[in-house]
């Protein structure tokens, strides 16, 4: 085993070591997701990303458009299947790690590049958070790209890198408005860095701003003309806290980030334990590029709690996860000595062992979830969709055109072979609305779980105005390895198209 790991570490500078690491990472963690969730549907956030990407637009009801664009491109190549989205999640994480390595190689070579990625693989970010491909995880690759472009722009002040930095920053905002704090981090770093005079007296920052504004302009136009504002949704969902709760949320945000970084930084300290005294003494002054990265990450973390306290809104540490890699990268790249090969081998062997163990216990997770269903009803998505579609075929030879509702109805859009369009039934204040007469005439359906009281009340309202509507009340029972799971009652409403009535 030691000789194989040595050969792989030698291959990092030969050009094949990092690609092999990322390929194994994608293969094993995709296998884990397939095995661990084989008896459950995709997370609602993932299905929402697919729904938003079915039509290309410059915006969406709840989030900016980037996650939809990515899923749209993915589905041009891959089928609409659970395994496909598990693969997308891990490929996205691997791209993020590859861009991080692209940054690391500007400061270190060989084994230290491998150490950076291996330590990051100890975080829950690139496996467990990444598995839900949504507006948060789409930033895992975009933030490192934007940071890398800004680093190159600050160093070279060239027009090409300045434009790239502006476009990448705007792309991050098109992923999630929270990325505005990344831009704040860029500004904070540029102001406090020792090279600020050369940067601000060059055209670079203004070219970046112009390029970013140009890319954001169509989205701004969409918000002004569509009558929909994801920004308004964000404030409605996360705003309105008392001052005390805002303080608690901000503290929880900072503690959550610190807790996330504990494991890789402790492992790194153990790896350099014999040199840690000299490491701490030599940490300052940092390489100017590393100092810039550290300032970016610091600014992007300080700003959110301050704004949260001002707006009295909530924060979650997951939103800042795409930028946490900077602290690990700087910690490793700041070491001015070689790390013993034995320590690197141990780290690689440990990461591999953890990953293989996760794959092996994946079926145990599926077994557990068979008796302890997910709160969002994922265990019933495919079963309920199959039951509804069987009844739909009896009512109409025409494919199901449209569905509305909440998580279960969105799952019907994904798991039905007809893949009907999903229409959000409520506005940003969660006032549920009756589908239009045109939508009902073309064929429509919805589903609700028994504990979704608002959905069930709305379903009854639709049934009262839709002629020939058929109400279904049935029970689905999952099964795994011949063991019966927890049954659930499903309530559905089907409105066949007018041509078949």
Q: What is the reported pLDDT for 249?
A: 84
Q: What is the reported pLDDT for 235?
A: 59
DSSP state of 312: T
DSSP state of 426: B
Check residues 57 and 379 and name the one with the higher pLDDT. Answer: 379
Give the whole-angstrom CA distance, residue 120 versus residue 88.
19
Give the whole-angstrom CA distance, residue 60 versus residue 52.
7
Model confidence at 390: pLDDT above 50: yes
Q: What is the reported pLDDT for 232?
A: 58
- Tell me the pLDDT tens digit for each residue of 181-220: 999 999 999 999 999 999 999 999 999 999 999 999 999 9
- Tell me the pLDDT tens digit for each residue of 237-274: 555 667 788 888 889 999 999 999 999 999 999 999 98
The mean pLDDT value for 328-336 works out to 95
- 114 touches 348 (CB < 8 A): yes
Question: Number of C-alpha atoms within 13 angstroms, CB side, residue 251?
Answer: 6
Check residues 452 and 50 and name the one with the higher pLDDT. Answer: 50
Q: How far is CA 105 from CA 30, 164, 339, in A?
A: 27, 19, 16
- 90 touches 33 (CB < 8 A): yes
- 123 touches 257 (CB < 8 A): no
Q: What is the reported pLDDT for 245?
A: 82
Q: Which of 30, 46, 27, 130 shows the shortest CA–CA distance to 374?
A: 46
Give the whole-angstrom CA distance, residue 7 versus residue 90.
25
- Tell me the pLDDT tens digit for each residue of 367-385: 999 999 998 899 999 999 9
The mean pLDDT value for 400-417 works out to 94
Instruction: Compute and round to an integer the Cα radius of gyration of the chain.
Output: 25
Tokens of 83: 């395994």
Give the whole-angstrom CA distance, residue 376 versus residue 237.
18
Sign of CA dihedral 241, 244, 249, 250: positive
State the pLDDT confidence band at 499, using cuts at 50, 70 and 90.
low
Model confidence at 312: pLDDT above 90: no
Give the whole-angstrom CA distance, residue 490 versus residue 473.
6
Q: Is the peptide bond before 473 cis (omega within 30 degrees of 0)?
A: no
pLDDT over 90 for what percent of the chain?
A: 78
Q: What is the reported pLDDT for 223?
A: 86
Tokens of 146: 């934007």
Q: What is the reported pLDDT for 501?
A: 47
- Tell me the pLDDT tens digit for each residue of 285-305: 899 999 999 999 999 999 999
Average pLDDT value over all residues in the chain? 92
């Amino acid at each position: 085993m030691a000789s194989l790991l040595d050969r792989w570490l030698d291959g990092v500078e030969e050009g094949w070591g990092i690609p092999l690491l990322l390929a194994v990472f994608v293969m094993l963690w995709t296998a884990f997701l397939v095995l661990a969730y084989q008896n459950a549907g995709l997370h609602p956030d993932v299905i929402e990303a697919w729904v938003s990407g079915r039509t290309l637009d410059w915006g969406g009801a709840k989030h900016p458009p980037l996650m939809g664009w990515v899923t749209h491109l993915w589905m041009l190549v891959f089928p609409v299947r659970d395994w496909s989205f598990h693969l997308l999640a891990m490929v996205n994480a691997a791209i993020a790690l590859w861009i991080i390595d692209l940054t690391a190689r500007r400061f270190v070579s060989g084994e230290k590049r491998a150490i950076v990625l291996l330590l990051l693989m100890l975080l829950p970010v690139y496996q467990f958070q990444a598995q839900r491909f949504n507006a948060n995880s789409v930033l895992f690759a975009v933030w490192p790209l934007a940071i890398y472009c800004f680093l190159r722009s600050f160093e070279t002040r060239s027009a090409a890198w300045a434009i790239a930095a502006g476009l990448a920053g705007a792309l991050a905002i098109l992923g999630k408005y929270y990325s505005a704090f990344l831009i704040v981090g860029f500004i904070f770093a540029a102001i406090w860095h020792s090279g600020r005079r050369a940067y601000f007296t060059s055209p670079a920052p203004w070219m970046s701003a112009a390029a970013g504004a140009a890319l954001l302009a169509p989205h701004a136009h969409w918000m002004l003309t569509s009558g929909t504002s994801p920004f308004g949704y964000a404030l409605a969902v996360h705003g309105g806290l008392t001052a005390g709760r805002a303080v608690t949320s901000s503290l929880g945000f900072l503690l959550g980030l610190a807790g996330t970084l504990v494991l890789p930084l402790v492992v790194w300290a153990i790896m350099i334990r014999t040199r840690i005294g000299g490491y701490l003494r030599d940490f300052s002054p940092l390489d100017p590029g590393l100092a810039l990265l550290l300032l970016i990450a610091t600014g992007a973390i300080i700003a959110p709690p301050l704004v949260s306290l001002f707006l009295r809104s909530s924060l979650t540490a997951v939103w800042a996860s795409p930028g946490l890699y900077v602290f690990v990268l700087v910690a490793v790249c700041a070491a001015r000595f070689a790390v013993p090969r034995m320590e690197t081998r141990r780290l690689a062997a440990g990461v591999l062992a953890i990953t293989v163990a996760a794959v092996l216990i994946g079926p145990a997770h599926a077994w557990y979830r068979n008796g302890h269903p997910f709160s969002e009803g994922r265990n019933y998505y495919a079963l309920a969709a199959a039951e509804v579609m069987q009844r739909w075929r009896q009512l109409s030879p025409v494919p199901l055109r449209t569905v509305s509702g909440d998580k279960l109805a969105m799952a019907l859009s994904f798991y039905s072979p007809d893949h009907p369009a999903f229409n959000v039934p409520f506005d940003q204040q969660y006032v549920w609305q009756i589908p239009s007469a045109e939508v009902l005439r073309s064929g429509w359906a919805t589903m609700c779980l028994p504990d979704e009281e608002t959905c069930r009340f709305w379903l009854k309202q639709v049934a009262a105005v839709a002629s020939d509507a058929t109400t279904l009340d049935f029970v689905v029972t999952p099964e795994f390895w011949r063991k019966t799971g927890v049954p659930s009652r499903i309530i559905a409403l089907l409105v066949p198209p007018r041509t078949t009535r």
